[in-house]
Structure 1
Amino acid sequence: MKNFVVKTIANAGALLVAVWLLDKITLTGASTGKKAVTLVVVALIFGLVNFLVKPVVKVLTFPLYILTLGLFTLVVNALMLLLTSWVSGKIDLSFHVEGFWTAVLGGLIISIVSWALHVVLPDED
């Protein structure tokens, strides 16, 4: 359970950094509290998308990973971020990613920040 909470906090922090750095990734809300709740829910959706969809996509696109020497990971991360944005829009959350290239850069930022937070935060159960 502690591992799940730590990963959700790391995802929320990484998403927050991406929202802060990129103008085309938006998180809107009336108050700071509403934005924080929205960010945590989006982090949960992002974690769920990465847990359920990403492994399937990785298996189906394995030849592209080999062909591009792993650079296709950037595309898959961007697609997971766009899928998170789409799901968030469907359930009326105010999180939006505008465009594929923004998603690529956002996915790169999220990967780096998430990795750094996982190094710093404890993850044992």
Structure 2
Amino acid sequence: MKHFLLTWLGTAVALLITANIVPGFILSGFAAALIAAVVIGLVNAIIRPILQILTFPITLITLGLFTFVINALTLWLASAITPGYGFEIRGFVPALLGSIVLSIVSSIVNYFVSAVD
């Protein structure tokens, strides 16, 4: 349970850092980041596997680069699911850049979280 909470908090911090780096990626505060982290986790657990199966031929042809598009679409969908909660992504390009920055920042934050745990 401790690891789950630390990962959730780490993802929320990574979202806040990403919002400060990527224009068009908007978070109103830490509470919005916590809600966004939950929604992103649910979208990644439920919808992303379906998208990966449906787009496998395109991903294979592009040698895996289409995975960036899938990540951006799931992030954009998560922001669309949470209107009025302070999490907004304004367009596909901020979603694409945000997904790349978020994966890098999240990896770094999770590295430090695992060192504490």
TM-score with structure 1 setting the length: 0.84
The corresponding residue for 2:110 is 118
Runs of 4+ in structure 1 over 3 Å off: none
**More off after superposition, 98-107 vs 110-119:** 110-119
C-alpha distance in 2, partners of 1:110/1:122? Answer: 17
The corresponding residue for 2:15 is 15
1:16-31 counterparts in 2 under 5 A?
A: 16-28=16-28
Deviations 1:47-103 (A, max 9, x none): 1111111111111111111111111111011001111110111xx201110110111
Deviation of residue 25 (structure 1)? 1.1
1:1-125 counterparts in 2 under 5 A?
A: 1-28=1-28, 35-89=29-83, 92-122=84-114
Q: Secondary structure at the match of 1:93?
A: coil
- Alignment gaps of 5+ in structure 1: 29-34
- Alignment gaps of 5+ in structure 2: none
Deviation of residue 37 (structure 1)? 1.3
- Decide whether the 8 Å contact of 1:11 with 1:47 is kept in 2: no
TM-score with structure 2 setting the length: 0.89
- Decide whether the 8 Å contact of 1:8 with 1:47 is kept in 2: no
C-alpha distance in 1, partners of 2:13/2:56? Answer: 29
Aligned-residue RMSD, C-alpha: 1.7
Between the two proteins, the alignment pairs up a number of residues equal to 116
